[in-house]
Every structure is written in structure tokens, then in C-alpha cells.
Amino acid sequence: MSIIEISSLTHPGVEVFSTLTEAQLRNRLEPDKGLFIAESPKVINVALNAGYEPLAFLCEQKHITGDAADIIRRCGNVPVYTGDRELLATLTGYVLTRGVLCAMRRPVLRSVEEICRDARRIVVIDGVVDSTNIGAIFRSAAALGMDAVLLTRNSCDPLNRRAVRVSMGSVFFVPWTWLDGPLTTLSRYG
């Protein structure tokens, strides 16, 4: 494990947590370089179990040997940035929720055809822009055993930090993708 003590949020490598916006993390111009932030050991563990690649952690010192110890150990030499509680609180204006953030690589999204091929029950999200609602819809879709989720491009990103947190990691195991074009194109998938 690679522990890096920081005294400033301008420390190289911490910008993914401190200065990049959700849109910059998504990186629509180069999706293969897109990132997202998972928050809390429980949600990070779900992401790791689903095969998501961790790139860096940011957490309070006490979590390194506490409730994040197993996931940090599991991630080998992924950098773990840590600082005192007051410094990390300046990042969000409050003490970090559950004390652990993990920057992860976005997956290559599958096509609508691939998502729908064997799916029998599909949730379609059209124009839902609130990240809390997206997270709740994914959590409900998982609880109801839905096979897939399709989202119109005018909906909130399911890998938005708050959506991931509210979904309790459901966005990592319910297959989803973006639906390009009008909803009427869904008829061709039966």
C-alpha cells in the first residue's frame, strides 16, 4: 500500500478529488479516460466486487487502519492520500462522508443491443436530472430484480458521486447504458 500524507489539497494526484467537476470526471471527449468517485467502504467494496478499477483513495488516517483497511489492502499499490480531518473537511465543507473516497475508472459502456439482448424487464429513465432520484431508481431496480436500465442522455449520470452513494452501489451490478435517440427507437428491441 502506498500511503501519501498531504498538507494541501493542491498536492499532485489529489485534483481528482478536489478540483475536477462531475463533467470533467466523466470526460465525454475521451470516455476511456473517464473517472468517477465512490464514497464509503461499503460502496467501494461493491464496486471492486463488480470489477471496477480503483485509481486512488482519499481518506482520514484513522480509516486506513480502520473500516477501509481491507479494501485498501485489497487494492495493492493504489495511492492512498491522507491528511488531517480539518484539511479533508475543506474539500467538501464538512467531514468526509464515511471518511473514504475512491477514484475509479469508468467502464466501457455496452450497447443498447447488448444490454437488451437477454433482458426481460428493463427500466427506462427519461429526463430524470436529480442524482438522488437516479440513485433511488437504481436501488429499486436492483431490489425488484430488473435486468437492465436504459437512460436518455438528458438524465443524470448514474456514476455521479451522489447517485452512486444513494444507490448503495446498485449502479455497479444492474447493467445500464445510455439510450441515444428518441424513446420510440426502443420498439425495435421487442
Q: What is the CATH number of the domain that holds 38?
A: 3.30.1330.30
Among candidates 116, 99, 112, 110, which has minimal Cα distance to 42?
Answer: 99
Out of 81, 105, 129, a domain closes at 105
Q: Answer whether residue 189 shows pLDDT above 80.
A: no
Q: Answer whether residue 97 shows pLDDT above 60.
A: no
pLDDT tens digit sequence for 34-81: 889 998 899 999 999 999 999 999 988 888 888 899 999 999 899 999
Question: Are 72 and 116 within one domain?
Answer: no
Question: Are 15 and 98 within one domain?
Answer: yes
Question: What's the rounded mean pLDDT across residues 69-98?
Answer: 79
Q: What is the CATH number of the domain that holds 161?
A: 3.40.1280.10
Question: Are 15 and 97 within one domain?
Answer: yes
Q: Answer whether residue 109 shows pLDDT above 70.
A: yes
Phi then psi for 43, rounded to 5 degrees? -70, -40
Q: Answer whether residue 18 shows pLDDT above 60.
A: yes
Classify the phi-psi angles of 83: left when phi > 0, otherwise alpha if psi is within -120 to 50, otherwise beta: beta
Question: Are 136 and 179 within one domain?
Answer: yes
Number of domains in the chain: 2
Q: What is the average pLDDT value for the chain, to the nearest integer?
A: 86
Out of 105, 126, 143, a domain closes at 105
- Full residue range of the structural domain in which residue 157 is found: 112-189
Phi then psi for 37, rounded to 5 degrees? -115, 125
pLDDT tens digit sequence for 134-178: 999 999 999 999 999 999 999 999 999 899 999 999 999 999 999
Out of 86, 105, 124, a domain closes at 105
d(CA 77, CA 56): 9
Q: Read off the pTM.
A: 0.86
DSSP bridge partners of 176: 149
Tell me which H or E stretch contains 42. helix 41-49
Count Cβ atoms within 10 A of the Cβ of residue 159 and give its class: 0-12 exposed, 13-18 middle, 19 or more buried.
Answer: buried
N residues, the chain:
190
